[in-house]
Structure 1
């Protein structure tokens, strides 16, 4: 039985693990829901020596901009298949233009979350990994329906602002397609087919629920966290053609409309 080692069994990695297990892979992982502690170096290295493939979903350190997995275990990553969950944030703000894997990433220096991610992205590519660049992730327990229920959904008056997004199950199918097929190392964008404004998603979700959408606000009026403000500071459309061509990947939820309908809470 082939073995997949996962660093960081988080929201997306859990779905990937489940998909791999359904195909007969044994999965071991670090993280709060994983079998191993990242800090238990002896046990981690012993499991890595038995692993056929390694996937990391551990984000880089914002302060040092280094990747914790490569920093500590990079010398033990000799497997033929390495994977890394990155972010389309590495492309920076493109003022609504399309980006693909050939688009230069943001400056490889400086401080902050985006630059740290860009440096980690590059480091994993240099390590020979399949790097999955992910836009806004949504799925069960993490969707606009949850934000509407919590009273945290916003509509922001920013004409022309668009985002790409991806359902967590489509991340899993894309990553496992790369795991089980002989695809070359490199970057792969896993995003849906219809970049759209957040307002469109909020309005669609409210229509499905039969409730009024929240009021339209200017960015300065909305009580947003610094991370959410950073979300609105970037504007781009993410192309997914490479993943479709080389992975044979077709998203089950090609737009937010199909994704929302699959997540619609049952009527009382």
Structure 2
């Protein structure tokens, strides 16, 4: 059985690929209101508030052979590591592989230069600092339990229901221009496929899960508008835009993220660049989710 802590957008994509591969899948949510949705996706629904492990939760953990931790850490640390004391063998006696979902934000700002898994982390935001600590905690826990742990550093996630088409249709899309700024992206289905690829091989280590083409964010909005047959929003200088502190912090980090490491293992991204991916979402009608 595969157990996914934090069966949200990415977790559900991983669950879909796992079920297609023959796994029974259990997934947690903080909200009781979302348990029915998980059940409809044939995911065994479990409530987890990040504060305690229920008897039902511990029983499922004891049966898990594969684990995915998708819950973001907080200032106190990774909730699952804290509640288990990092003792994977005690709480997951059947475990043979685990994954921790992290972010390319751990690299910090590199002025638009290319980074890979060997690039030293120099996180800027508090949330990225917390991610680096969680990555280290999971790798250490895996070593103590003799369980391979893969750290998946994800770039900007999009896919059905979360994309430029949705933003344009809701009138929330903006084309903010900051000269030289680029971002990588990742289609959510490729997160699911990469997770199953690594789990099947019981691979450990750090992997960038990202597309091939870091690109200016305004170009992605323009392409979505072109496919919709509508005018793109007017360009707006980043300096004059009203943004939340979190949104503004993303623009403080500029880098090009390489995915060569996982491709060298034989993995092929189904959606390696945004143009074909957006075209697929639009023509299939799946953009709306």
Q: TM-score, normalised by structure 1?
A: 0.91
1:1-268 equivalences in 2 (<5 Å)? 3-31=1-29, 32-33=34-35, 34=38, 35-38=45-48, 39-61=52-74, 63-64=75-76, 66-73=77-84, 74-75=86-87, 76-78=91-93, 79-106=95-122, 112-128=126-142, 129-183=149-203, 185-246=204-265, 248-264=266-282, 266=285
Q: Is the 8 A contact 1:88 1:134 kept in 2?
A: yes
User: Where do 5+ consecutive residues of structure 2 fail to align?
Assistant: 39-44, 143-148
SS of 1:15's partner is helix
C-alpha spacing 1:182/1:40, structure 2 compared with 1 (3 Å): closer
Q: TM-score, normalised by structure 2?
A: 0.85
Distance in 2, matches of 1:81 and 1:211, equals: 46
The range that moved more, 50-59 or 73-82, is 73-82
State the match for 2:42 in structure 1.
none
Q: 1:156: how far off?
A: 1.8
SS of 1:104's partner is coil
- The RMSD of aligned alpha carbons is 1.6
Runs of 4+ in 1 over 6 A off after TM superposition: none
- Output one character per residue of 1:122-180: Cα deviation in whole Å (capped at 9) or x when no partner: 22222232010000000000001111112221112211111110000111100010111
Q: Is the 8 A contact 2:177 2:237 kept in 1?
A: yes
Larger helix proportion of the pair: 2
Distance in 1, matches of 2:249 and 2:125, equals: 14
Distance in 1, matches of 2:238 and 2:132, equals: 26
